[in-house]
A = this chain, B = another copy of it.
Amino acid sequence: MASKKTKPADPAAHIPGEFAYKGLDRVLHEKARLGILTSLVTWPKGLVFGELKSLCALTDGNLNRHLKTLQEAGMIEIKKGYQDNHPQTLVRMTAQGRSKFSEYLEELERVIERAAAAQAAIEATAAARGTLRPRPA
């Protein structure tokens, strides 16, 4: 039998809910909202509606919907004002938003590290033993 280090994980040793990822907040873990938040983190002074729409390739309706979700979660603030006599909607991340986003990124980093380590272990096992059992016909 292989040493403990190279032995595949034992399903009997699993921890219930180990892969439930409770730390991955659904508000943040949505692809469009992830794009909006990363944009806002990149431009901390804020972005106007049209800039966000273009950066994230979203329609007016979709962007509005996602901004509402993020505002309700306290992640962003929306200020309606005027720039050169034109109405302007400025969107900025709140301090709470930056803090929550930071925690989310750390959790996601852990998920990736773990999955990448498991994938590397498969490749190492496959290389040592030949390929994995072929798919039955």
Contacts and interface: CB of A to CB of B under 8 A. Distances in A.
A35 B55 contact: no
Contacts of A57: 16-17, 19-20
Contacts of A44: 8, 122, 125, 132
Contact of A19 (B36, B95, B111, B119): B36
Interface of A: 8-9, 11, 14-21, 24, 26, 29, 31, 34-39, 41-45, 47-48, 51, 54-58, 77, 79, 94-95, 98, 101-102, 105, 108-109, 111-112, 114-116, 118-119, 122, 125, 132-133, 135-136
Nearest to A44: B122
Contacts of A43: 8-9, 11
A42 to B, nearest CB: 4
Contacts of A112: 105, 108-109, 112
Nearest to A17: B57
